[in-house]
A and B are shown apart, each in its own frame.
Chain A
Amino acid sequence: MLTCREISKWVSESLDRKLPLHLRVEVRLHLMMCRMCRRYRRQTVALRTILRVQDPSMAPTAFSDIHLSKGASERIKKALTTANE
């Protein structure tokens, strides 16, 4: 029997590769019986979805409050002007 700690590792890994058959079976059986590991799995999937949501600017929505500073913006414009000459 695998512990919850081991199962959580396999649950995470199952999002990145196809697990060998015996592990898939073992994980599935464990999840049927274990509420906490089911939650862990749901959180892992939710986190992925949250991070992939993009705002119309194509940046992750999670970062929509961030702005390029005035100083940096001036610096970049200057570099562009110089390079454009």
Chain B
Amino acid sequence: MSTSQQLSSPEQWVDEHGDALYRFALSRLQNPSAAEDVVQETFLAALKARKQFSGRSPERTWLIGILKHKIVDLVRKESRERPAEEIDDLPSDADLLFDPAGRWRTGPLEWQVHPEKILERKEFRAVLQRCLSNLPKRLRDAFFLREMEDQSSEEICKVLAITPTNLWVVLYRARTRLQNCLNKNWFSDPDRRGE
């Protein structure tokens, strides 16, 4: 323990940060066992690197930083193992949303919501999680790197081994599908549309 005054013991890490790391991992990977594995790897890597912990940032921030790298490594590895042609087979909700002439069928619903406020509602969080986990993996990977991590298109294309044109199609499909899912499962109730 002498080398790590600022750090709590490894067992304490799991109690103190296990949930937060797991939430973070699951939000990106949507697969519980993959998320558990990557959290374990993160703690093990942290154990090895604990001498380098400067104490300048909080322990949690340091651990999440390691976790982010592990997740991107995993996504990169999986993308390398999967052929890129699959992108054309990925589902698109566009045919449901638009008529053959390219006009909206019913159109998106109005969401008059404040993001922080709507997230206070447990039922909404559950619906959002369900919609995210229903995204096909490839759409989800691109979507989390772009929307949650705010990475640039170039960085994401490198990680996923796809072209920018493909990436923009993938992001469009992910957004449209998620919005359609939220429209159907949450905002279709008029009481939930405003605040």
Give the interface of A toward B (CB within 8 A): 3-6, 8-9, 12-13, 15-17, 35-37, 39-40, 42-44, 46-53, 57-69, 72-73, 75-77, 79-81, 83-84
Contacts and interface: CB of A to CB of B under 8 A. Distances in A.
26 contacts: A3-B102, A4-B103, A4-B104, A13-B168, A13-B171, A46-B111, A46-B113, A52-B150, A57-B19, A58-B24, A59-B20, A60-B27, A62-B132, A63-B27, A63-B125, A64-B23, A64-B125, A66-B26, A68-B19, A68-B21, A68-B22, A73-B14, A76-B40, A81-B10, A83-B48, A84-B47
B11 A62 contact: no
Interface string B26-69: 11000000001001100110011000000000001100100000
Contact of A12 (B110, B172, B182): B172
Interface centre among B11, B26, B36, B104 (most CB of A within 10 A): B104
A5 B102 contact: yes
A12 B176 contact: yes
A64 B119 CA distance: 10
B contact face: mostly helix, strand, loop, or mixed? helix
Contact of A63 (B10, B23, B111, B164): B23
Interface of B: 10-11, 13-15, 18-24, 26-27, 36, 39-40, 43-44, 47-48, 60-61, 64, 94, 97-98, 101-104, 107-111, 113, 115-116, 118-119, 122, 125-126, 128-129, 132, 146-148, 150, 153, 164, 167-168, 171-172, 175-176, 178-179, 182
A78 to B, nearest CB: 10
B98 A79 contact: no
Given A59-B23, A62-B128, A68-B22, A12 B119 contact: no
Nearest to B108: A39
